[in-house]
Each structure stands twice: as C-alpha cells, then as structure tokens.
Chains A and B, each alone.
Chain A
Amino acid sequence: MKYTYEVITSDFGGQVIKRTDENGLVAWIPTDLTNSDYQRYLNPEAEQSTPNL
C-alpha cells in the first residue's frame, strides 16, 4: 500500500499527520513516537514488527 502524507498543525500548536492511501482512505496519525503508524511515517522502509520470511 502506498501512502501520501501531509503535516497538519492545530491551533494549539500540536501536529497530526494526514495519511491518504491509494484508495483514498484517510487516517489521522498523532505525532507520538510509540504510535506504529507514526513510526512508519518516519521510517517507511522499516518493518519494525514482523521480520520477513
């Protein structure tokens, strides 16, 4: 699945990431280093959870 990302800054100064997949489904990702979606945004080449066969 390929994604496009956009950084959104709230009026309180915080940020969230708007992620849109190739089917148009949108997900909103908090900038929390323990959120796995945010980890994949920061390092899309890494698969931190499941090693390959």
Chain B
Amino acid sequence: MSRAQVTSTVEQNTGGAVAPFVAGKNKIINGDFGIWQRGTSFSAVGNQTYTADRWFTETGGTANITQQTFTPGTAPVAGYEGTYYLQYATATTNATHGIDQRIEDVRTLAGQTVTISAWMKANAATTMTVIGSQAFGSGGSAGNDIGSTTWTLGTSWQRFTWTVTMTSVAGKTIGAGSSTNIRFLNLTNAAFTFQIWGVQVEAGSVATPFTTASGTLQGELAACQRYFQSLTSASNVDTSFGMGINRSTTISDLAVAFLVSMRTSPTLTASAANLFYIAGPNVAPTAVALNGSCPFSATVRFTTTVTNAAAFQCIAFNTLLAYLQFSAEL
C-alpha cells in the first residue's frame, strides 16, 4: 500500500488527522474553480451554459455567473490558499437555478458509498438541493436520480457534506456519453446569490480534506482540456494559431493539433473570420468553418482569396480578440 493510500485510509478512519492531498480521489474536475477558459464573467446566461470549466448552468431562467477572487488568507480552509470561487446570481426569478457537473462515464463510483462535499455561502440565507443522478448515454437505459439532500446556506463559508450510495449499473445498457451527474439547485424560485468553492466527490463515507482531481494546476488544466480547449489570441502581441496550406484560390486549411487528446471529436465555435489573418498571401479570410475533427486534431477552413498554393501562417493581430474553441463536453 502506498503512503497516499495509507494516509487516505487513516483520514477515512479518523475523520481528519492528516491531510491526504491524493490526486485522483476527487472525481470532480475544477472543483476549486481555478480554470476559466471560456471567460470569467457571464451575464444573463440561460440553461446548459458552460462557465467555469466543466460547470454548466441548469435553469429555467437566466443568471449572472462570475469568477470571484479570495482575498489572500480568507479561503475557507486553513492552509489551503484557494484563489477563485464561483458566484451565481439569479437574473430572473420563478425558475430553478443552479450548476451541474457531468462526471464522465456512469460507471464512475457506481454501486459505491460516495461523499459529496462543498463549501458554500449566500448573500442571504437560502437552501441548496444537491442531486446525484446517472445518465446512460445515447441509446442507453433511461437516466435516474439516485437521491437528493438539502443544505441550508448561511452568509459565511461552511462546508456541507452528503453521503449517498450510488445505484449499481448492473443490468443497465450504457451508451456513448454516459455520465454521473452532480447538481446543485436552488428550488425556491426566489432571487438569490450564492458562492461555491471546493467541490469534492469521493468514495467513502467521510469528506476528506479537499484537493483537486489532479492535485496540480497543470494537471487540472489538462483534465479540463479533455473536454474543452480555447485557443485565444493574446491582447498585447500578435498570436500564431499555427500553419496551414492554401488548397485553392479560395480555401486555406489550418491544421490544429490539440493541446491534449479530447474526449471525442470536438465541436468548433470561432470568432469572426476577419479577426484572423492569413500570413503569406497576406489576406483576411471572409469565413471560418470546421472541415473535420478527431480527438487529437482538427482542420479549420478559412475562405480566402489567394493567388498561390503555398503554406501560410494563421495569426491574429494584437488588438483583435480571435479565438477557436473546441468542445467535447458530455
């Protein structure tokens, strides 16, 4: 048994004598809200909108989601300097509001005793219903809720925990894109603002000290990039998006190699085409599209007017915010 396993076991048995910062115990990715590839402020966003990496809204209305920064020394865990937390403010009432994370593969923690924990607070006392559910993917068995609990939030940071036994997947049909889902929902239909940090989902009946899924900032970013990658130009320098080939007088294909392999062939969203520049023939494209993608690469097609079939470099000038975003979320 490794030292990590020993300390984790001691922690489980004693309820907190040592701090097992063990990579891999937390099945939530970006549980410390340290990664925000899509931006840091989202106004009046609707249902199923991704904000902080891996976290998306679940609402019948709209909400304002923002990254908030801990004043140094004020994170809720002594000895663990959290940097950011997520704030969720309702923009419309008379609707369910909250955030979810889909943990890849419904087999994750299936049939096991699981403890869900999070630090939360609110601008005024309110309630938060936590729901665990299983989704069996495309063509799979019907999804099911495995249970729920309700936490009463105050105006100071407090760690809440819930231990539940996840339903076995025996006898189920599991299709592509299955997931174990953790949902934090306010069902009051009233206006509220809440803050959340340090979300952890782990095997066992005790909430052990929080750590991120990977244990490192680099590892957490890479874990997020399995599901989403944003290639965004820098604000103060010219940015290279890579090399490509002018395949005809109207087509310039950019080859993109992903930073880490993605869960599946990703969907592309891009900024306006004229924010990019095709250096070599030195033209601005008039359209951008996906020509094809797979888990490790994509071909991004620009519509251009060029006079030769030479290679080109795709760049964005320092004053223009150009981006290519690839999503392989569940």
Query: Measuring CB to CB, which residues of chain A are less than 8 angstroms from any residue of chain B?
Result: 1, 8, 10, 12, 14, 16, 18, 25-30, 32-37, 39, 42-43, 46-51, 53
Question: CA separation between A49 and B106, bound complex, in Å?
Answer: 10
Structural contact, A49 and B289, CB atoms closer than 8 A: no
Give 28 A-B contacts (CB < 8 Å), ordered by A residue: A1-B46, A8-B289, A10-B291, A10-B292, A27-B268, A27-B327, A28-B267, A28-B270, A28-B289, A32-B264, A33-B138, A33-B176, A34-B176, A35-B267, A37-B267, A39-B177, A48-B137, A48-B138, A48-B175, A48-B177, A49-B102, A49-B135, A49-B177, A50-B58, A50-B181, A51-B144, A51-B145, A53-B96
- B292→A16 contact, CB < 8 A: yes
Name the residue of chain A whose CB is nearest to the CB of B138: A39
Interface residue tally of chain B, by bracket?
35 or more
B327 touches A37 (CB 8 A): yes
With contacts A8-B289, A25-B269 known, is A1 near B48, CB below 8 A? yes
Q: Enumerate B111-148 residues with CB–CB distance to A below 8 Å.
A: 131, 133-138, 140, 142-145
Cβ–Cβ contact B100 & A50, under 8 A:
yes
> For the complex, what is the distance from the CA of A36 to the CA of B46, rounded to whole Å?
18
> Is the Cβ of B293 less than 8 Å from the Cβ of A30?
yes
Main secondary structure of the interface of B (DSSP, over half): strand
B100: chain A residues within 8 A (beta carbon): 50
Determine the chain A residues whose CB is within 8 A of the CB of B330 once the complex forms: 36, 49
Give the distance in Å from the alpha carbon of A39 to the alpha carbon of B176 in the complex. 9
A35 & B292 in contact (Cβ 8 Å cutoff) = no
> Given A35-B265, A35-B267, A50-B135, are A16 and B102 neighbors across the interface (CB < 8 Å)?
no
Query: How far is the CB of A31 from the nearest CB of chain B, in Å?
Result: 8
**Chain B residue with the shortest CB-CB distance to A50:** B181
Report whether B143 and A50 are in contact in the complex, using a CB–CB cutoff of 8 Å. Answer: yes
Do residues A51 and B291 form an inter-chain contact, with CB atoms below 8 A? no
